[in-house]
Structure 1
């Protein structure tokens, strides 16, 4: 499963593009020896440099947040397949998503992936490109398949909204629809600005993210977009010093850092109520302010990774952290 797990384990309407206007796929492949309009396009992604002579025509997405990036850009007709949802696809994209073949509930085998005859594979987590499973980016390249990894899992610094805007821009340009990327980003920035204005002068509340875990707490560190999401929503991530996107913390550390609010990530087979019960029933946590006051906020996991939900997710989380605003 995802490398973010220890066990290898709705956005604002303004952010939803006019799908009817975006329904056509990107420009068709150029005649032999010629590049499509706007091409060649060269992009460096997580250390892999690729030059496209034309937009991919048979893309496969692996992981929900990158699938939603494609759908937000109206590129469903460029998708030959998709795989691995964390939770429910956004209602605005459901019709488009239903038209795309689902290759696998989780990651497809190499054989199932190649059977879709992709010319491009877009992965959300580093685990999408598992070399041991034959899905490494080098392996795909040898098969004539280009690839992209979501920037949150590039070996770089902490993820930011600037990275999200770059992610959307580069995907849009790769598929020959740069104007759609620019339009999405313009609307996203309006949503973020509106939340900033509403929270102006607010005192941040301390936040502990509970993703999962029993013996230790699997939480959001300081490198992922989840950390910036909390900050922009008027919170302070008590594990911002954890130099990872996701990682383990001890329960003693949770107690010592005294979070005011616990944000529960909602996904998978363990329900939010089960996670709450685990926290509330732990006698070691009884003096944690968030536990004493039963202050919980809930976010779908897909809201908290580098994808098109983030700007609206900032607004939704801020309403839970600061209900009076």
Structure 2
């Protein structure tokens, strides 16, 4: 079977979903006073349902009307907003881990960047936000956005990704359903629930397309480390990606999302494929260089066959781009077979 056709279909599915949401997003969020708007792309009933409550990590925030001056303080949150076509409802953004997905580049560039990392509390206040959305609890510290309780007192709604809860017991296990639930919650706050439903539908189609692509393949998900490898374990996003394509994680027995493996275990398992997470602070190029220079690791079949797969860090975390990570890994597995 040709490897080109499946890859083309997956690309078309992702781009079609993005195009549909982007067109819906051109009109911005629905007018809270017009429940019958047909240009916003939102469900006709959603605009009549304000105020709405958004809840995560034990905190509930009230959204009185569709936000128009939202700020996002981490890449995961930013890309959920862009995926929902809400860039016109954003007053600022900050803190990228790597490049925004190319299909959202133009939308991202239309949003003011407040800081390379976290902006100061004063700079956030200067945007006069009506909604603050972050992926990590560190964004809701006094020196950044302030606590969510403080924001509530100032009539500013807020939302923290469930995957970023300070209390780990409140975090959901990484899964696509949990990712879609977060997208749904944000979409409800902005009155664009139908856009979230479209994202779910199209990502489900991608997952159906790739479910057996790597069946029978063993995989090392290498995140970093030289003396001891940091690897994708059995309870995190890398495992979700590997399950989605039918691959076997050689460190599936490790608890948590990431963990310390050992090079001895890697040599013993001799994986068919090695996935390299590419991050600004630890590039895939550096990780590959280590594997190809270590005398023991150069003997691995995956190293000798150059069976490497590279995935951007933002596609390896629980978020709206996780499906992109699945599609990318599946495509690269197919290319290795050519």
Deviates more, 1:146-155 or 1:91-100: 146-155
2:217 equivalent to 1:205: yes
State the Cα deviation string for residues 1-55 of structure 1 (Å, max 9, x = none): xxxxxxxxx7821231432332122134569xxx951223223212212232222
Pick from 27, 41, 61 the counterpart of residue 30 of structure 2. Answer: 27
Higher relative contact order (CA 8 A, sep 6+): 1
SS of the residue corresponding to residue 211 of structure 1 reads strand
For the aligned residues, what is the CA RMSD?
2.7
SS of the residue corresponding to residue 86 of structure 1 reads coil
Segments of structure 2 that go 5 or more residues without pairing to the other structure are 1-10, 35-45
Measure the CA separation in 2 of the matches of 1:204 and 1:146: 47
Instruction: Note closer, same or farther for the CA distance 1:146–1:175 as it changes in structure 2 (3 Å cut).
Output: same
TM-score (structure 1 length as normaliser)? 0.84
Normalized per residue, the structure richer in helix is 2
8 Å CA contact retained: 1:56, 1:120: yes
Measure the CA separation in 1 of the matches of 2:225 and 2:318: 22
8 Å CA contact retained: 1:207, 1:235: yes
Deviates more, 1:263-272 or 1:295-304: 263-272
SS of the residue corresponding to residue 37 of structure 1 reads helix
User: Residue 56 of structure 1 aligns with which residue?
Assistant: 67
Measure the CA separation in 1 of the matches of 2:156 and 2:178: 24
Instruction: Note closer, same or farther for the CA distance 1:90–1:42 as it changes in structure 2 (3 Å cut).
Output: same
State the Cα deviation string for residues 270-310 of structure 1 (Å, max 9, x = none): 44322210122123434444234332101111112223322
2:178 equivalent to 1:163: yes
Deviates more, 1:135-144 or 1:296-305: 135-144
Moved over 6 A (4+): none
TM-score (structure 2 length as normaliser)? 0.81
State the Cα deviation string for residues 34-86 of structure 1 (Å, max 9, x = none): x9512232232122122322222211112222211111111011111001122
User: Residue 184 of structure 1 aligns with which residue?
Assistant: 199
Report the CA distance between 1:228 and its aligned residue. Answer: 0.7
8 Å CA contact retained: 1:30, 1:54: no
8 Å CA contact retained: 2:121, 2:143: no
Instruction: Note closer, same or farther for the CA distance 1:170–1:239 as it changes in structure 2 (3 Å cut).
Output: same
Measure the CA separation in 1 of the matches of 2:249 and 2:286: 23
Segments of structure 1 that go 5 or more residues without pairing to the other structure are 1-9
Aligned residues: 310
Measure the CA separation in 1 of the matches of 2:272 and 2:120: 43
State the Cα deviation string for residues 135-162 of structure 1 (Å, max 9, x = none): 4434444444332222333433421111
Measure the CA separation in 1 of the matches of 2:141 and 2:303: 39
Instruction: Note closer, same or farther for the CA distance 1:98–1:289 as it changes in structure 2 (3 Å cut).
Output: same
Measure the CA separation in 1 of the matches of 2:245 and 2:144: 39
User: Residue 254 of structure 1 aligns with which residue?
Assistant: 266
State the Cα deviation string for residues 190-220 of structure 1 (Å, max 9, x = none): 2222223xx27x6332222222223332332
